[in-house]
Homo-oligomer: A and B are copies of this chain.
Amino acid sequence: MRMSQSPLPHPLCGIVPPMITPLRDRDALDGGGLEKVIEHILAGGVSGLFILGTTGEGPSLGYRLRREMVQQTCRLVKGRVPVLVGITDTAFVESIAIARCAAEAGADAVVLAPPYYVPEGQPELREYLEHLLPEMPLPLFLYNMPPLTKVSYELETVRWALQQPRIIGMKDSSGNLAYFNALLELRRERPDWTLLIGPEEMLAQALLLGGDGGVNGGANVFPRLYVALCAAAEAGDLPRVRELHGCVMQVSRRLYTVGRHPSATIKGIKCALSCLGVAGDFMAEPFHRFREHERKSVHAAIEELRELLGPLAAV
């Protein structure tokens, strides 16, 4: 039943950055910034773009803005890479609406975390998916993000999902590599399924044991680094994997610890892109751009990371 015309490789391998949403104001997309950030990322050799995810501040954006983001991104990408659109929502009909908007705009797939207000049990989650799937105009990736949604796609539910032709893969941001490894075992039954990992601190290890790629926030800033790490892992070049993994750990250590709250990662990424002149760092409520002293820390980090990364940091 999967659409044979889909440009999506099965599985989808490589880096699919969870792209930020450049904003001019609370409810206004920064169109120029969007174009620049897309070109910045695509120049790094990524395999796709995932928009309106956690890093893309999807849930914090109004629906009008989300639709504009979908349409502008698809228009600017022009089919050069697949575009995946986050449709996670507490309201079923709004998820469907964004999915339709994505299909009309020419996106390639949609990405769904469990609805995240009142936590549903696994039978409820499965029934929800059963009702949602027939309404989906595009193939679906599951997005496992229990720290934010409270509910996980437990293995019994993934086992069921592996039998649904319209569900074509999963992004796991649980931070639980034992769970990710269990997913890898399960998907042996369906090798066309895509398994991508969220936390970049585990990217190297996920790739070495069979993961297809990563949806890593840092790839907004230094896409070449993450793409190179994927290539090294695919080539089985362990020394190079270790070296590049060390670089990723430095990005994480330097860029994501400037702020103190869980939003520190997104703030760090947006601030870094602003320091690089790619896009502004305006953030959707309830978050706000770094203050001056934090920005200085990010600036210093960027300088050191560029030195460390050399050509892999080329903008």
Contacts and interface: CB of A to CB of B under 8 A. Distances in A.
A148 B120 CA distance: 11
A128 B285 contact: yes
A302 B181 CA distance: 21
Contact of A286 (B125, B178, B266): B125
**Residues of A in contact with B, size category:** 35 or more
User: How many copies altogether?
Assistant: 4
A117 B115 contact: no
Given A62-B93, A117-B116, A121-B261, A209 B285 contact: no
Interface in A230-278: 236, 238, 241-242, 245-246, 249, 252-253, 260-263, 266
B125 A92 contact: no
A210 to B, nearest CB: 7
A44 to B, nearest CB: 23
A90 interface: yes
A287 B118 contact: yes
B178 A285 contact: no
A253 B61 contact: no
Q: Output the residue of A63, A177, A262 with the most chain B CB within 10 A.
A: A177
A2 interface: no
Contacts of A301: none
Given A91-B59, A236-B238, A262 B117 contact: no
18 contacts: A60-B115, A61-B91, A65-B93, A92-B285, A116-B116, A118-B262, A118-B263, A118-B266, A118-B287, A121-B261, A128-B286, A175-B178, A182-B249, A204-B208, A204-B209, A208-B238, A210-B242, A238-B238
Contacts of A209: 204-205, 241-242, 245
A285 B115 contact: yes
A292 interface: no
Interface string A127-167: 11001100000000000000010100000000000000000
A269 B124 CA distance: 18
A288 B124 contact: yes
A263 B204 CA distance: 31
Contact of A124 (B91, B124, B127, B261): B261
Nearest to A125: B286
